[in-house]
Structure 1
């Protein structure tokens, strides 16, 4: 009977914000892991390669041969590759649809037993948001190529080195007057990145999850304004929160996108107009035996460390 040590898993995007956590949780669960990324040298700064069961491999999700080489002989595959800002040939369609389909197709051809595809809460082919629409199209493309694929839809993820919680904290510290997206009424249910990574690792231990879709949201639902107040309270700050119409944000984003590293994009503005909350009808953390941690708990740990 095969054990976890006989079942290698290839993690595409294995050096990213979520991917590197997935690698660590899979390894703790006993799986040998292939860390697939375009820049495998980065993994040497993130992992202890004294462990012979961790293997960095160069891979490009846009290249057929590259993918085929990585998935050959693997028991499982995780697609944790994501794109939040389009640039050049890296578009939401090329990454979230075409590359996702390509990877799922090669996993199927290689007779990989389990594929976990990371998407996002709210993914919808009918959405006005290009990002959300392409996420939805990507899910359909993956399931068409690999019918038993497990879909993981996390809410907005947070962690010590994220681009959400820590960015808001930095801005709150610098800005006595904080501009909100709209009136701050968009609902959020942020998920701790380590909890999401653990959920993915546990999905490989279960044999009854074929074609299951999980929506992973944190323990609390906040409006954006409530979230800002929570963060400010934990950091002992008292900013003045000022509502700014979304139309103004869209105009600002249009000009910001001309910069090499835009501080805000029109896509981000669109996302902040859509509630990011898990459906109570969908399987979630509790179905994998996980009690998700709250923003307050992790924020306190971050503040203690810094």
Structure 2
């Protein structure tokens, strides 16, 4: 599929983060200008030189008001929203970041005559409404579509890559812990009428997508309007299988301890006290639902040639 972004002005909210850096690298192949909008000025130095000289502009925004957002996107052709948080703190709440902000960006984009608006959500948010993360993400999609009906929504499964928050978390834990948790309730299997067996080997299912493939997909679909894409990688894996892949390429052995959801909730209660909690009670709720999509891989492979699996990419950044 032929894509031309020459002469376009692109604004990326949250562009200084993990996914944003890969997206900038893709867009910088064209003669376009890319403006990165973020609160975190420390991350700007990591993205400013990803493009050609002067191609990447910086838009620091401390107050995400409609007035400020409208000024930032004035004259732009494409607006992409990548902003998201995994947990709440005193400064950032799901309701504003995931629910209100997409609507504000959408309304500002509509009023400023932006040609294309792309919003990054998450796979399964419409069916996991017990979780505040998922509920806020789904409400954000609704607010976005209400203000800008032609917006395109992209819902990826767990995203992995060199600086991800998933694989790297368990890789780091394995550096100092003799065991790793396998979170999930067991399935009860009756091999006969009287002796049930607890099977912890199944657990939550994931269909991880490589960040480079996600960036390529956004590039290839950037000119489409009014679409909602579920996205997923080539392989469906259990939580346990993902942990085993990490350990395989680190060339270490660790004891894998089954942690039922009630115990995970107890762990999360204490971990939530950390400034950057590795696990929250809300994330435990997310883990109760499989994060897979039958159509997700079809959508990805339609626009991305040979999507990469976890086992292919992990050896390039896990040590």
TM-score w.r.t. length of structure 2: 0.88
Deviant stretches of 4+, over 4 Å: none
Distance 2:206 2:296 in 1: 17
Distance 2:228 2:291 in 1: 16
1:142 aligns with 144
1:290 aligns with 305
Q: 2:76 aligns with which of 58, 69, 74?
A: 74
1:212-227 correspondence runs (5 A): 212-227=227-242
Quote how far apart the aligned CAs of 1:112 are.
0.4
The alignment yields a C-alpha RMSD, in angstroms, of 2.1
1:190 aligns with 208
1:162-173 correspondence runs (5 A): 162-173=164-175
Q: Contact 2:160 / 2:166 at 8 angstroms: preserved in 1?
A: yes
2:160 aligns with 158
What SS does the corresponding residue of 2:118 show, helix, strand or coil?
strand
Q: Contact 2:131 / 2:283 at 8 angstroms: preserved in 1?
A: no
Quote how far apart the aligned CAs of 1:62 are.
2.5
Distance 1:223 1:237 in 2: 20
1:143-292 correspondence runs (5 A): 143-182=145-184, 183=200, 185-204=203-222, 206=223, 209-280=224-295, 284-292=299-307
Unmatched tracts of structure 2, length 5 or more: 185-199
Quote how far apart the aligned CAs of 1:123 are.
1.3
Distance 1:29 1:192 in 2: 22
Count of residue pairs brought into register by the alignment: 300
User: Is 1:51 matched with 2:57?
Assistant: no
Unmatched tracts of structure 1, length 5 or more: none
Quote how far apart the aligned CAs of 1:221 are.
0.4
Provide Cα deviations, 1:78-122, integer angstroms capped at 9, x if missing partner.
000001111125211111110110001100111101000000000
Distance 1:301 1:280 in 2: 28
Distance 1:296 1:129 in 2: 29
Q: Of the two, which has the highest radius of gyration?
A: 2
Distance 1:154 1:239 in 2: 30
1:103 aligns with 105
What SS does the corresponding residue of 2:11 show, helix, strand or coil?
strand
What SS does the corresponding residue of 2:295 show, helix, strand or coil?
coil
Distance 1:32 1:299 in 2: 32
Quote how far apart the aligned CAs of 1:279 are.
3.5
